[in-house]
Structures are given as C-alpha cells and as structure tokens.
C-alpha cells in the first residue's frame, strides 16, 4: 500500500474520530469536566503518549531557527484551537459544532490566498460567501432553549474561531513536518501546548472530582485524550506529509454526516430547520470554494 493511500486512510480515520467527538466530549462537559480543564487533560495526556512513542523514533533536536514557528504552531493548534472549541462545544450543541467545523476548508483557502498568495477565482469567492453565510446563520439564528447549551450563539462563534485557528495551523505546520519525524515534532508541540494552556485550564483541572466520575465519563475522557487528541494529530501530521493542506482540510466534509448521525442516534441532539438550511449553505459553499478545474489540479492532492 502506497504512502499516499495510507495518508488518505489516516485522514478518514481522523475525521471519523472528530465526528464522534462532538457528542462524546459534549456528554461530559461541563457536568463532570469543565472545558478548560478538559483541554489540560488533552495536552498533558497527548504529550505523555508522544514522549512515550518517541522512544521508537529517531533522536532529533529542533533547530533553533524553527522555535518561532513551533511556538506559533503550538499556539494555533494546541492552544487557541482547543480552548475555543471545547468552550464553544460546552455552550452549544453537537450538531452545530459538526456543521461549523466544515468551514475549515474555506478558512484554509482564504489564508492560503493571504499567506501563500494563491489565486482565488470568482467561483471560490462565491463559495466562501455562501459558506460563511451558513455559518453566520447558525451563530445568529441557531439558538435553542437547552439546559446543556447555555449560550448557543456565543458557542457557535467560538467554534467558528476554532476553524480559523485550525486552518492557520494546517498552513503553518506544513512548512515544518517535512523536516522532522512526526513523533519528535508532536512531543515538543504538545509540551509547549501544556505551558500555553496552563494559565487557562489549571484551576478547572483541579476542580475535577475524580472519585465521583462515572465509568462512562472516564471512558469519554480516555477517548478524547487517546482518540481525539493523540491519534488525530498523529494521523493528520502523517497525512500532511503526503497531501496538501487544502486537500486534508476537505476531509472535514465527512464530519457533519458522522457527527449528526451519532448525535441523533444517541439522543444527544436533534435536527432543526435552521440547522438543516445552515448545513446546506455551508456544504455548498465549501464545495464551490474547494472544487478545482481539472486543468489546474495539482499532481499532489
């Protein structure tokens, strides 16, 4: 099996885990684990796992000139990205979350045009407008009265910010992953992530009542640390060695299907007219923004 095929499977695996995560993580927040405390568990747990498996990787040192980019990657991918997503998810609903993260390819496209000077055609501009209109519709009109979703508009806005930070992370990290082994890169990235998240999550981390946690909550925490954090970041880093950032971000299309089906199947959320319309706008926008003419398709997709 070729590395490119493995990269595609890795990307599918990561987006599947993300799709389940919207409901699984929501199920323990904020009842058992406060959102910022959950982030501390993620970065500490993933850091420990990456240091453990780095024993089986090459012995590498990070070049001093790469420290600023490493810090930026940690801020975008392990700090701001996680913090706003989990806080947003604790305030909103799993389906809103699953729909809004599909704006990531649009964000990557916009940032690629700004940072990498990539050309954006008229169709892509229209797609960006339609997609962002759908996201804005969810933020402004997607509010429901739910005890487990105390501030849906703010939560939706924070989840949209997550897409912006993660899209920026995908672009910045692309310049480093070809230089270092994934184990080396991720262990240092998450170690820096602990320091970034510590001021925001330490107090909430100490509030967790470990002895009172039901087994389902413990299982959800383990899934988020091992699956949503360790595995997905490792899968995505490997996928980026073979795929373009814009191609990898396109796998986010699968998230709403998985996230919505799982949320409804487990009774954690329900579909509404606003959610359906907004999802259609977002998906159509992402499709138009990401679709390329056959003549311009890069060999490395």
Per-residue pLDDT at 298 exceeds 50: no
Q: What is the tens place of the pLDDT at every residue in 106-136?
A: 787 788 777 767 677 777 778 777 877 877 7
Mean pLDDT over 287-296 rounds to 57
Q: Cβ distance 41 to 225 under 8 Å?
A: yes
Per-residue pLDDT at 142 exceeds 50: yes
Mean pLDDT over 62-72 rounds to 91
CA angle 14, 17, 20 (to 5 degrees): 150
Residues 6+ apart with CB under 8 A from 257: 19
Q: What is the tens place of the pLDDT at every residue in 178-214?
A: 788 888 888 999 999 999 999 999 999 999 999 999 9
Residues 6+ apart with CB under 8 A from 240: 170, 173, 174, 177, 248
- What confidence tier does 290 reach under pLDDT thresholds 50, 70, 90? low
pTM of the model: 0.77
Burial 164-196 (b: 16+ CB within 10 A, else e): bbbbbbbbbbbebbeebebbbbbbbbbbbbbeb
Mean pLDDT over 66-79 rounds to 90
User: What is the percentage of the chain residues whose pLDDT exceeds 90?
Assistant: 31
Beta bridge partner(s), residue 161: none
Per-residue pLDDT at 40 exceeds 90: yes
Mean pLDDT over 21-30 rounds to 88
Per-residue pLDDT at 96 exceeds 70: yes
pLDDT at 292 (0 to 100) = 57
DSSP single-letter state for residue 75: I
pLDDT at 300 (0 to 100) = 41
Per-residue pLDDT at 147 exceeds 80: no
């Amino acid at each position: 099996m070729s590395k490119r095929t493995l990269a595609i499977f890795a990307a599918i695996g990561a987006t599947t885990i993300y799709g389940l995560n919207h409901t699984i993580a929501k199920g323990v927040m904020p009842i058992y684990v406060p959102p910022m405390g959950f982030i501390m568990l993620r970065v500490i747990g993933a850091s420990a796992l990456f240091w453990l498996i780095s024993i089986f990787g090459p012995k590498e040192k990070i070049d001093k000139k790469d420290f600023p980019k490493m810090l930026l990657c940690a801020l975008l991918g392990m700090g701001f990205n996680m913090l706003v997503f989990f806080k947003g998810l604790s305030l909103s609903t799993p389906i809103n979350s699953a729909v809004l993260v599909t704006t990531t390819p649009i964000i990557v496209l916009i940032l690629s045009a700004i940072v990498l000077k990539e050309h954006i055609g008229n169709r892509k501009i229209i797609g960006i407008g339609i997609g962002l209109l759908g996201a804005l519709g969810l933020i402004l009109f997607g509010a429901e009265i739910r005890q487990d979703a105390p501030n849906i508009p703010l939560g939706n806005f924070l989840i949209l910010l997550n897409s912006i930070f993660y899209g920026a992370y995908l672009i910045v990290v692309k310049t480093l992953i070809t230089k270092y082994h994934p184990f080396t890169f991720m262990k240092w990235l998450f170690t820096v992530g602990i320091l970034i998240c510590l001021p925001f999550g330490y107090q909430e981390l100490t509030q967790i009542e470990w002895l009172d946690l039901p087994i389902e909550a413990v299982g959800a925490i383990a899934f988020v640390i091992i699956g949503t954090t360790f595995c997905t970041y490792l899968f995505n880093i490997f996928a980026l060695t073979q795929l373009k950032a814009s191609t990898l971000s396109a796998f986010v299309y699968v998230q709403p299907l998985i996230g919505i089906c799982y949320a409804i199947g487990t009774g954690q959320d329900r579909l509404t007219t606003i959610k359906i319309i907004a999802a259609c706008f977002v998906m159509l926008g992402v499709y138009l923004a990401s679709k390329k003419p056959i003549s311009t398709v890069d060999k490395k997709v």
